[in-house]
Amino acid sequence: MKVAVVGATGLVGTKMLQVLAERNFPVTELIPVASEKSVGKEITYKGKQFKIVSVDTAISMKPDLALFSAGGSTSLQDAPRFAEVGTTVVDNSSAWRMDPTKKLVVPEVNADVLTAEDKIIANPNCSTIQMVVALKPLHDKYKIKRVVVSTYQSVTGTGVKAVDQLMNERAGVDGAKAYPYKIDLNVIPQIDVFLDNGYTKEEMKMVKETNKIMGDDSIRVTATTVRIPVMGGHSESVNIEFANDFDVEEVKALLAKSPGIIVTDDIANLKYPMPLDAHDKDEVFVGRIRRDESQPNTLNCWIVSDNLRKGAATNAVQIAEYLVAKHLVGVPAEA
């Protein structure tokens, strides 16, 4: 399995390499790809050194699989070029997510939509991924009508520059700014740019991507996304209205047995999910599970996951694992 990692030196690309190694993905030849200024430098994978190559060089090597985390413009330009030589691309940017010809996949939810003909597969937004992992078993059982979500998102979702800004501010050091405002000891109720409807792009991603991944446009979603001064993971307060009533203990049991979920809900002992607990883990943690007493058939819960892992790198690798398990990768597009 010849595997290219495009954007290998970034926060998510580095995490992709770590996850590939940890999960013993069957890499026989690794092709790390980064911008021209990084070509020729070396990265370490499983104790060995690999030279970074350009996109053009990587395409000429015809990898079986390419994991992309290099931004939307790079994905739009280069993912089709990889696909043309038979490579299956799993793309972490927003470039292809809402393209009706491309699949948007969270393996626990909808991996079964994938075929050998899918040469460009979109990895969803980090905040959407963790939410739909928890929503899927609940929707199957009770049918979701509406979701109201407020997020508390880690600075790592923005990238290295944002992490540096937070650390510099904490240390009283002047430096480059990723945000228009101070982030230390503050929260910023804006993630991505504002749209004409008053929502941010991140908020509308959560709306549209949830419908596409769940395969159900009848689920109404409204979101408020907020950047907070933490690292380790995104947190979400989620209010879910169902068509059918539920038993809270049954909900907890259902979530606990669902793939990729850990229920941490023991208020007697002050146990609930926090970014510190989710850091460097692949699961989605759910807690504070309780009935909304203000209206019928409605549940409140709190969802936390490591945004660089399940929210990005791990989800991409899990898609790749599914493709390998089902013999869908390395297969000619016309198969």
Q: Catalytic residue at 126?
A: yes
| 272, 143: one domain | yes
Q: At 282, give phi and psi (nearest 5°).
A: -95, -10
Question: Which member of 126, 139, 279, 327 is catalytic?
Answer: 126
307 pLDDT more than 60: yes
At 75, which amino acid appears? Answer: S
| 157, 294: one domain | yes
Task: Please report where in the chains the tokens 């926090």 appear, as a residue.
Answer: 274
Task: Please report where in the chains the tokens 């026989």 appear, as a residue.
Answer: 28
Of all residues in the chain, the percent with pLDDT exceeding 90 is: 97
Question: Which member of 234, 279, 301, 327 is catalytic?
Answer: 234
DSSP 258: S
| 204, 69: one domain | no
**Is 335 within a domain?**
no
User: What is the CATH number for 114?
Assistant: 3.40.50.720
User: What is the CATH number for 289?
Assistant: 3.30.360.10
Integer Cα distance of 75 and 14 in angstroms: 17
pLDDT tens-place string over residues 73-114: 999 999 999 999 999 999 999 999 999 999 999 999 999 999
| 290, 238: one domain | yes
**Other C-beta atoms lying within 10 Å of the C-beta of residue 312:** 26
Q: Give the count of domains, the chain.
A: 2
| 55, 178: one domain | no
| 276, 169: one domain | yes
Q: What mean pLDDT is predicted for residues 123-134?
A: 98
Q: What mean pLDDT is predicted for residues 234-260?
A: 98
| 120, 135: one domain | no
Tokens of 105: 């996949």
Integer Cα distance of 21 and 19 in angstroms: 5
Per the structure, the complete domain to which residue 101 belongs is given by 2-124+312-325
299 pLDDT more than 80: yes
| 174, 303: one domain | yes
Q: Catalytic residue at 327?
A: no
| 6, 109: one domain | yes
| 111, 157: one domain | no
- Give the pTM: 0.96
